[in-house]
Amino acid sequence: MGEGISDYTKFIIDLRRHMWKSGVEMELRRLIWQIAVIGKYISAKIQESNRKLAGFRNIRIFRHGEEQLTMDRSADEILKNQLQDSGFVRAYASEEQDSVIQIGKGEEKYFVTADPLAGSSLVDANLSIGTIIGIHRESMLAKGRETLVAAMYIMYGPLITIVYSAGKGTHEFVLNREGEYVLSEENIILKERGDIYSVGGLRRDWTPEHLEYINFLEKGGYKLRYSGGFVPDVNQVLIKRGGVFAYPALKKNPQGKMRLLFELQPMAFIIEQAGGMATDGKQDLMSIKVEELNQRCPIYIGSRFEVEKAREFQV
């Protein structure tokens, strides 16, 4: 029995060990690990909210919006308060804040951006949601390619998983029963071409160029896989090794819906490290300079064939 357990544990690689073996610098890996632990607290808050909603079905329509807002704010407070004591973070910015918050002493290396609870409106439908994190050096308001040193997302679904990259590939970890994040898939690489697509926005609001692109995908036999959640939909493209997620420029909203700093840059970093691409339909997403916190941008993200093809239709 003891020998079997020993043989089993030899093959378990947890998140901290993986980062150390990959050569991630000490302060960065400690910060990533701290955020991973914070994900457990956010998951507990989601479960607490679900228990509160149970048994109130008749008045749920009135309570859910309030509960959703409370969860968003709670996740943001958990992140901000925990990072404040990390010793590694100089400033924090999130979708829930109106401005950058100075949480360090002014000498720390890293700036953290967050979408604390992306897709929180899906909680009552029992669909997966997530936390998106970008870790920057020097500045947040810049081109992602110049400042991002790491990115990660935590997905709260049937399993709690973390996908992270510190510029040394893209890797997935799953939270096991013992409360450890253990390696599930290492150095994930997208195929050149996939066969699924997720697309946001109402069809009636799409531009003719985008509609033509979607028609191309459908004629090519691509399968629609759209949950309405950015984290699970991009995660599906990654884990299935190909495909595309798109939230395009719209007729009345040419800047699209999604936020460049909090959502798009971190996901673009992760997907690029997996061999994929991300653009706004015309230019490389990671080369777009962030001018303001809530700057919005269209996105096409996934395997190279689909993203490059989207750019062809925009010309």
How confident is the model over 132-174, as pLDDT tens digits?
A: 999 999 889 899 999 999 999 999 999 999 999 999 999 999 9
pLDDT exceeds cutoff 80 at 54 = no
**Taking the domains of the chain in order of start, what are their residue ranges?**
6-185, 196-314
Q: What confidence tier does 53 reach under pLDDT thresholds 50, 70, 90?
A: low
Q: What confidence tier does 69 reach under pLDDT thresholds 50, 70, 90?
A: low
Q: Could you confirm whether domain 196-314 is CATH 3.40.50.10490?
A: no
Model confidence over 83-131: pLDDT tens digits? 998 889 999 999 999 999 999 888 899 999 999 999 887 877 778 999 9
Model confidence over 214-265: pLDDT tens digits? 999 999 999 999 999 999 999 999 999 999 999 999 999 999 999 999 999 9
Cβ atoms of residues 273 and 217 within 8 Å: no
Cβ atoms of residues 225 and 196 within 8 Å: yes
For residue 269, what are its two tokens?
């970093």
Order of strands, edge to edge, in the sheet holding 277-279?
223-224, 196-199, 244-247, 299-302, 277-279
Cα 119 to Cα 122: distance, rounded to the nearest angstrom: 6
Identical fold between 6-185 and 196-314: no
This prediction has a pTM of 0.91
Which is more confident, 166 or 70? 166
Give the per-residue pLDDT at 62.
Answer: 38
For residue 39, what are its two tokens?
């994900």
Q: Could you confirm whether domain 6-185 is CATH 3.40.190.10?
A: no
Cβ atoms of residues 261 and 290 within 8 Å: yes
For residue 29, what are its two tokens?
């890996």
Beta bridge partners of 93: 113
Give the phi and the psi of residue 113 in degrees, each rounded to 5: -115, 150
Parallel, antiparallel, or unpaired for β 110-118 and 244-247? unpaired
